[in-house]
């Protein structure tokens, strides 16, 4: 019996040794695997920090908040990380000044919108001012046109000793954009535009229009450059009579440049250029009223 008990004890010892040996081997294996896992965890941590530039704990919280499913195994995590890297690369380079630039652009946009409002207001005021000026211009133009037209009709009838003439605004209903046309009917002729009249008739008609403007808005001086050139003696006399009438009705001084002796004889003073000596010009002035008085004596 003692030997049997001893044998049973030996077997128990051997079984315990075998179990202890297996436990030591398992412990060594688990320690090795734990060390490998720790090393792998350190590599992944380093990779996360270098690649994602974030702490693993922060990344885990972000993924949890975003409710993104993360694979439990390492291979799945690597595949998932690879997919994330591809998505990141597809986005392109990151502008680190994007937020600052957004603020700058927002401020610039606000400034431009304020300037746009100012410009819109200025344009509105400018258009209003233009409309007011155009309205006033139309009124003044129409008023001046009516006054000049009445004077023109009277002067034309006086110059031609009859006949009818008038001014008309043509080609537009807007006085500011309309053209001016002269319609005249000398005695014994039909109403026609000025372009269909003879040279003498055109000269007298133009003189009537010029003097009509001077009656509506007199000027200190009026220079007439050979207006009487296309006129015969009878029409020159009518032209001079009109000059005398204009002198009585206005304070305008008329200077007539002419070679016509009839016109010269009707003037108050003559100015001319003579050459008393060869190559030497001399200005000559003659007061015809004084000359007539001296001749009468």
Each residue's pLDDT tens digit, 167-179: 998 888 888 888 8
At residue 135, does pLDDT exceed 60? yes
Q: Provide the domain count of the chain.
A: 2
130, part of any domain: yes
Least reliable range by pLDDT among 6-10, 185-189, 209-213, 226-230: 6-10
pLDDT digits (tens, 9 = 90+) for 56-95: 777 667 766 655 555 556 566 677 777 877 877 777 777 7
At residue 142, does pLDDT exceed 70? yes
Residues 128 and 213 in one domain: yes
Residues 146 and 217 in one domain: yes
Residues 215 and 271 in one domain: no
Chosen domain end from 197, 222, 247? 222
Residues 139 and 196 in one domain: yes
- Please state, for a pLDDT cut of 70, what percent of the chain lies above it: 92
Under the banding of pLDDT at 50, 70 and 90, the label for residue 39 is confident
Strand order in the sheet with 164-170: 164-170, 179-185, 192-193
Strands 221-225 and 253-257 turn out to be: parallel
Q: What gap in Å lies between CA 297 and CA 294, rounded to an integer? A: 5
161, part of any domain: yes
Q: What gap in Å lies between CA 196 and CA 61, rounded to an integer? A: 99
Chosen domain end from 194, 222, 250? 222
Q: State the CB neighbour count (10 A cutoff) for residue 275.
A: 9
Residues 141 and 218 in one domain: yes
Q: What is the pLDDT of residue 232?
A: 87
Residues 207 and 150 in one domain: yes
247, part of any domain: no
Q: What is the pLDDT of residue 249?
A: 86
194, part of any domain: yes
* Full domain range(s) for residue 272: 267-297
16, part of any domain: no
Chosen domain end from 187, 222, 257? 222
54, part of any domain: no
Under the banding of pLDDT at 50, 70 and 90, the label for residue 136 is very high
Q: What gap in Å lies between CA 132 and CA 178, rounded to an integer? A: 19
Alpha carbon distances (Å) from 133 to 128, 130, 144, 159, 294: 9, 5, 16, 37, 58
At residue 198, does pLDDT exceed 70? yes
**Could you tell me the CATH number of the domain that includes residue 194?**
3.40.50.300
Residues 213 and 284 in one domain: no
250, part of any domain: no
191, part of any domain: yes
Residues 196 and 284 in one domain: no
């Amino acid at each position: 019996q003692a030997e049997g008990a001893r044998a049973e004890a030996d077997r128990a010892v051997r079984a315990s040794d075998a179990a202890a040996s297996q436990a030591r081997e398992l412990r060594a294996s688990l320690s090795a695997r734990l060390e490998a896992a720790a090393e792998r965890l350190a590599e992944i941590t380093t990779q996360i920090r270098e690649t994602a530039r974030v702490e693993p704990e922060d990344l885990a919280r972000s993924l949890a908040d975003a409710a993104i499913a993360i694979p439990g195994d390492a291979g799945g995590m690597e595949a998932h990380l690879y997919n994330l890297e591809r998505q990141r690369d597809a986005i392109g380079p990151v502008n680190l000044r994007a937020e600052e630039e957004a603020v700058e652009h927002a401020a610039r946009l606000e400034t431009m919108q304020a300037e746009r409002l100012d410009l819109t207001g200025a344009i509105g005021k400018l258009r209003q001012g233009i409309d007011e000026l155009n309205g006033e211009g139309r009124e003044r133009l129409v008023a001046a046109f009516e006054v000049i037209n009445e004077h023109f009709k009277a002067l034309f009838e006086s110059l031609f000793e009859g006949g009818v003439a008038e001014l008309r605004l043509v080609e537009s209903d807007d006085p500011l954009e309309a053209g001016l046309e002269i319609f005249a009917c000398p005695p014994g002729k039909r109403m026609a535009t000025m372009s269909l009249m003879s040279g003498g008739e055109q000269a007298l008609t133009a003189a009537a229009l010029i003097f009509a403007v001077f009656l509506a808005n007199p000027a200190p001086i009026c220079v007439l450059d050979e207006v009487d050139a296309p006129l015969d003696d009878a029409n020159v006399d009518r032209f001079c009579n009109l000059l005398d009438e204009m002198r009585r009705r206005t304070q305008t001084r008329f200077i007539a440049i002419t070679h016509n002796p009839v016109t010269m004889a009707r003037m108050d003073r003559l100015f001319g250029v003579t050459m008393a000596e060869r190559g030497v010009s001399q200005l000559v002035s003659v007061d015809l009223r004084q000359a007539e008085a001296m001749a009468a004596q």
